[in-house]
Structure 1
Amino acid sequence: MKKKRMRNNQLGFTLIEMMIVLLVISVLLFVAIPNVAKQSNNINEKGCTAFKQMVQGQVQAYRIDLKKYPASIADMIDKGYLREGEKDCPNGDELKIGADGEVSIVK
């Protein structure tokens, strides 16, 4: 009498299936990472513009209180119109105050 061999159903993934899944994930990452980096730069740029406008408002408050424009960002920090860490944009660009009180971004 011949014995039949029963094959156990093994639940799991084969090596080929796992490699295909890894390939799909890799392709998605190659597409997504450049877009995320581009958006990060865009966010920093908009943050710098908003920060410049906030500093411009503080320059006007300084002028109203002291009847003159500040000479520099350091002058505004010393007088308490800006906090110590508020001298540069979030993306690292520096702010400069002109003689007419206009705040500009120095790249």
Structure 2
Amino acid sequence: MKQLQKLKKRAGFTLIEVITTIFIMSLLMILILPNIHRIREFAEQKQSQAFFQNVQNQVDLFRGQYPEYEVTLPNLLEHGYISKAQAEQINREKILIQGNQIKRGS
């Protein structure tokens, strides 16, 4: 009977248990969040490099198919070598088309 009364008194968490749990969760967040940020930056950098290489490949394909045309962003769009979304990203990333090569602008 006394054991049953002790169990009824201990229905919730104590303040120390709650504070300890919050502290451990905070500590884990402090350790995890910087790594997530670093991983996100690394992924964005790799995506940008892949996009840059993709645009260079599209320029090379265009030059092979249409040697008589100048390689410009409007010509690539007109002939379907890049989409409007890709053209917008080219402008956002300040990629310049110069001759047969592309370069990052400042």
- For normalisation by structure 2, the TM-score amounts to 0.79
Partner of 2:57: 57
Other structure's SS at 1:47 match? helix
Query: Which stretch shows the higher mean deviation, 33-42 or 62-71?
Result: 62-71
- Equivalent positions of 1:1-107 (< 5 A) are 7-9=5-7, 10-67=10-67, 68-71=69-72, 73-87=73-87, 88=89, 92-99=92-99, 101-107=100-106
Q: How many residues align?
A: 99
Identity of aligned residues (%): 23
1:30-68: CA deviations, max 9, x gaps?
121111111111111111111111111111110011104
Q: CA deviation at 1:11?
A: 4.3
Asked if the contact 1:62/1:69 (under 8 Å) is kept, the reply is no
When the two chains are superposed, the root-mean-square deviation of aligned CA atoms in Å is 2.1
Asked if the contact 1:96/1:106 (under 8 Å) is kept, the reply is yes
Other structure's SS at 1:85 match? helix
Aligned letter for 2:86? E
- For normalisation by structure 1, the TM-score amounts to 0.79
**d(CA) in 1 for partners of 2:55 and 2:21?**
50
Asked if the contact 1:76/1:82 (under 8 Å) is kept, the reply is yes
User: Where is the helix percentage greater, Structure 1 or Structure 2?
Assistant: 2
**d(CA) in 2 for partners of 1:45 and 1:60?**
23
**d(CA) in 2 for partners of 1:81 and 1:28?**
47
Q: Which runs of 5+ in 1 are unaligned?
A: none
Other structure's SS at 2:86 match? coil
Other structure's SS at 1:70 match? coil
